Structure formats: C-alpha cells, structure tokens
Amino acid sequence: MELANVVPWGRSFAEYQAMFGLPEDDLKKRILGCGDGPASFNAEGTKRGSQITSCDPVYQFETKEIRRRIDEVYPDIMTKMKQGADNYIWDSLGSVEELGKVRMKAMSEFLSDFDTGRHQGRYVPASLPSLPFPDSGFDLALCSHYLFLYSDHVDEVAHLESMRELCRVASEVRVFPVVSLDGTASKHLDSVVTALSAGGIEVSLQAVSYRFQKGATEMFVAKSV
C-alpha cells in the first residue's frame, strides 16, 4: 500500500454504535474493527472500557504521515461531497461543512491515540483476506465502509475470502453497509450469502438506525453456529 493512494476518512464511536446497533452488552465483547483506518471507534471505545483491536493496512504508517495525508486529501473530499451531496441524507449531520468537522474530530481522536494504541497492540497493520489473529480470537468483528461498499474495486473472490477470514477470527461478523458506492445492493452480496450459508454460517440482514448514504439502511450479520 502506498500512502499516496490512501484517502483517510474516519467515523466516530457514536456512528459505529448506530451502524452496528451496539448495545452495552456488545461493547463488553472482544471486538475486532477490521478496516477501521482513522476512525475513533477504538480510541473512544477504549476510554469507555471496551476491549477493541483495530486492523488496517494504513497502520503501517507513522502518525505524522497519516496526519499529513489527512490534511492533504481533506479539501478534495469536501469538494467531492458537495458535488455528490444528493446521494446522502443530511438530517443529522446538517451540511457538508458539519460533516467535515465531525470527521476531522474523529480522525484527531484517532491520531492522538494511535502511538499509545499501537504499543498496546490495539492497532494492528493487516489486510484482508489474511489476518494475523487466531481462530475465534474475537466475539465480534465489525467492518465499516470497506467490504460491499467497494464492490467495484474489491472483487467477488476477495469478498468471499475476506468474509470467511472474518468468520474464522470472530464468532459473529457485522458489515455495514451492504450497498455499493452507487447506493444499490452490492453485486457480491448474493454469492457471499450463498457461500457462507453453505459453510454452516447463519447469515441475515438487519435494519440499523444509522442514516447517511441513501440506500444504506441494513447491516450484514454472519454468525458461526
């Protein structure tokens, strides 16, 4: 991975709670956030007492390099969000400017926590479809805004291998959203459902309260039975 190709953009703990419907009981579980990037889920969750490990290829870089890249791409992301504003629901975030503030706050919290968390083993540089974790090392794996969303960039084989890998390391896996960037159901959803079901994994789609991208109203849930 080259940092010049990375577009860091991170969500907050509150957004993860809404995307994945996380009640307090879930927050007591051993959680893996896969593809967490510069989200503040781990930083905020750790402060609240949760046991969260995040993995992402971007964690191979230093704090100052990630910070520089965030500052570099931010104006461009804002311009693109303004151009594509009709694809989103603005009820809670209000405006592109407000969204920018919320995202920058989340990413600052991540950056402040990254060095400490890396030494504590809470931020692990790793990429799907191969994770450096033992079988069933986690109770719950969360994957926000990577699988399914980037269905035009991550092919069917990578989706199948990644989902199987997440099911290997965690007894329950949740992925949000299940739509692609255009807001329609991921073209890989059916094959993932078929493959995991055939392997004895219980799969379902569950409605969540989070609303931002139009069409993104459900999370994918896979449970090893």
Which tokens hold the place of 60?
């191979």
* Residues β-bridged to residue 213: 88
Amino acid letter at 37? G
Which CB atom, from 8 or from 197, has the smaller least distance to ligand SAM?
8
Q: Alpha-carbon Rg of the chain, whole angstroms?
A: 17
**Options 32, 70, 99, 128; binder of ligand SAM; rule CB under 6 A:** 128
**Options 22, 39, 141, 163; binder of ligand SAM; rule CB under 6 A:** 39
* Residues β-bridged to residue 174: 142, 221
**Options 146, 148, 210, 212; binder of ligand SAM; rule CB under 6 A:** 146
**Options 69, 122, 145, 188; binder of ligand SAM; rule CB under 6 A:** 145
Least CB distance to ligand SAM at residue 55 (A): 7
- Subset of residues 8 to 27 that bind ligand SAM, contact rule: CB under 6 A: 9-11
Q: CA angle, 28 as apex, 26 and 31 as ends, to 5°?
A: 75
Least CB distance to ligand SAM at residue 82 (A): 18
Q: Rounded to 5 degrees, what are φ and ψ at 124?
A: -115, 125
Q: Evaluate whether 135 touches 224 at the Cβ level (below 8 Å).
A: no
Contact letters (x/-) for ligand SAM, 44-83, by CB under 6 A? ------------xxx-------------------------
* Residues β-bridged to residue 222: 173, 203
C-alpha span between 150 and 42 (Å, rounded): 23
Q: What are the residues binding ligand SAM (CB under 6 A)?
A: 6, 9-11, 34-37, 39, 56-58, 127-128, 144-146
